[in-house]
Amino acid sequence: MTAMFEINTLLVGLLLVDFVLLGASRLGTSVRQVAAQGALLSLLTLAEHAGWGAPWRVWLLALGSGVVKAVVFPYFLRRALREADVRREMAPYVGFTASVLVGVAALAASLWLASRLPLPGPVPSPLLVPVSLFTVLVGMFLLVSRRKALTQVVGYLVVENGVFCFGLALPEDAPLPVEVGILLDIFAAVFIMGIMIYQISREFDDIDTGRLTSLRDEAS
C-alpha cells in the first residue's frame, strides 16, 4: 500500500506541477517546474519498482533520467535564457488564467479517456494513466499557446514527461537499450534545441517565435 500511496502522492505532485506550468508567466519558473517534474518522474520510476528494492537497471534509469531531466536540461535552458535575456512569456496566445481553466478541462478529459481504456491488469495506481495523459495534453497546450521558443521546449519536455509517465504504467518495462536510446534522443533533442534558441536569440534579438513566420504560402 505504501508504494501505492507514494505513487499517488508523486502523481498528484506531477499534476500540481502541470497546473503551475499552465499558470506560470516567468520563464524561470517554467524551467524550474519542468526540472521538478523530471525529479518527480525519476522518483516515480523508483517507487513503481518497489522503492529501494528496485533492480540495478531501474536505479540506473531513474538516476540517469533524473540527472538529465532535473539537472542537465534546466542547465541548458537557463543558459539559453541568459543568452536571450528574456524573463517572461509576454502576451501568450491564451492567457494564464484561461490556460488554467483549459487545464481543468483537459484534466476532466483525461479522466474520461482513461476510464474508457481498460487496463490489462494491476497498475501501480489508477491515477497513473489519467495523470500521464493530462501531462501530455498540458505539454501540447503549452506548445500551442505560448510564444517564446523556450516555453515551447518546456512544452515539448512536458509532453515527453507525460509519455514517460505513461510508460510506467506498462506491466513490463521496455528493454534497457530502448530506454537508454529514448533518453539519449531526448537529451540530444533538447541539446540541439538549446543551440537553436541561442541562434534564434542572436539572429532576432528575441526568442519570440512570432518572428519566425517568414516561411509561408499565405498570400502576403
Partner 1 sequence: MIAALVLVPAFAGVLALLLRRDRLRRALLVATALTHLGLVAAVWRATPAAPPTAWLRLDPVGTLVLGVTSVLFAVAAIYAVGYLAHEVRAPRPDMEEDALFANGPEAVFTACLLFFLATMTLVTVSQNLGVLWVAVEATTLASAPLIFFHRHHRSLEATWKYLLICSVGIAVALLGNFFLAFAASFGPAGSGSLVLNELIAGAPGLHVRWLKAAFVLLLVGYGTKMGLAPLHTWLPDAHAEAPSVVSALLSGALLNCAFLGIVRAYQVLSAAGQGRFAGDLLIDIGLFSMALAAVFIVAQPDFKRLLAYSSVEHMGILAVGMGLGGGAVFGALLHLVNHSLAKGMLFLLAGNILAAYRSKSTAGVRGVGAALPVTAALWVAGLLAITGSPPFGPFLSELVIVKGAIDQGHPVATVLFLLFLAAAFVGMARPMLTMVQGEPLASLPPSGRDRWLAVAPPAALGLAVLLLGLWVPSWLNDVLRAAARVVGGGS
Partner 2 sequence: MGAFLAALGLVVAGGVASLLTGRRWRSRVAVAGIAAGSLCGLLAALRVLAGAATVALHVPWRVPYGSFSLAIDPLSALFLAPLFVLAPAAAVYGGRYLEEEHGGGAIGGVWLFTSLLIVGIAVVFTARNGVLFLLAWEVMSVAAYFLVTFEHHRDEVREAGWTYLVATHLGTAFLIAMFLLMARAGGSLDFDRMRLGQASPALAGLLFGLAVVGFGTKAGLVPFHVWLPEAHPAAPSHVSALMSGVMIKAGIYGLLRVLLLLPPPPAWWGWLLVAMGLVSGVGGVLYALAQHDLKRLLAYHSVENIGIITLGLGVGLVGAHAGLPLVALAGFAGALLHVLNHALFKGLLFLGAGAVAHAAGTRDLDHLGGLGKRMPWTGAAFLIGSAAISGLPPLNGFVSEFLIYLGAAAAALTGRGATLAAAVAGGAGLALIGGLALACFTKAFGSVFLGDPRSPHAAHAVEVAAALRLPMAALAAACVAIGLGAPLVLTGMTGVLAQLAQGFGLPAPDAQIATLRSALAWVALASLTLLAAVALAVLARRFLLRGRTVTAAPTWGCGYAAPTARMQYTASSFAQPLVDLFRPVLRTAAFGTPPSGAFPGPASFASATPDPVDRGLYRPLFAGAAALFGRLRWVQHGRIQLYLLYLVATLLILLLWKVR
Interface ranges with partner 2 (CB under 8 A): 93, 140, 143-147, 152, 209-210, 212-219
Q: Residue 219 CB: number of other CB atoms within 10 A?
A: 4
| Residue 25 touches which member of partner 2, partner 1, none, C-beta under 5-8 Å by kind | none
Q: How far is the CB of 95 from partner 2 (least distance, A)?
A: 14
Q: How far is the CB of 204 from partner 2 (least distance, A)?
A: 14
Residues of this chain that interact with partner 1 (CB under 8 A) are 116-121, 136, 140, 143, 149, 152-153, 156, 159-160, 162-163, 166-167, 169-172, 174-175, 177-178, 181-182, 184-186, 188-189, 192-193, 196, 199-200, 203-204, 209, 212-215, 217
What values do phi and psi take at 103, rounded to 5? -55, -40
| Residue 218 touches which member of partner 1, partner 2, none, C-beta under 5-8 Å by kind | partner 2
C-alpha span between 152 and 142 (Å, rounded): 7
Under DSSP, is residue 155 helix (H, G, I), strand (E, B) or coil? helix
What angle (nearest 5°) sits at the alpha carbon of residue 186, between those of residues 98 and 86?
Answer: 50
181-186: long-range contacts (C-beta < 8 A, 24 or more apart)? 183/61, 183/64, 183/65, 183/68, 186/68, 186/157, 186/160
| Residue 61 touches which member of partner 1, partner 2, none, C-beta under 5-8 Å by kind | none
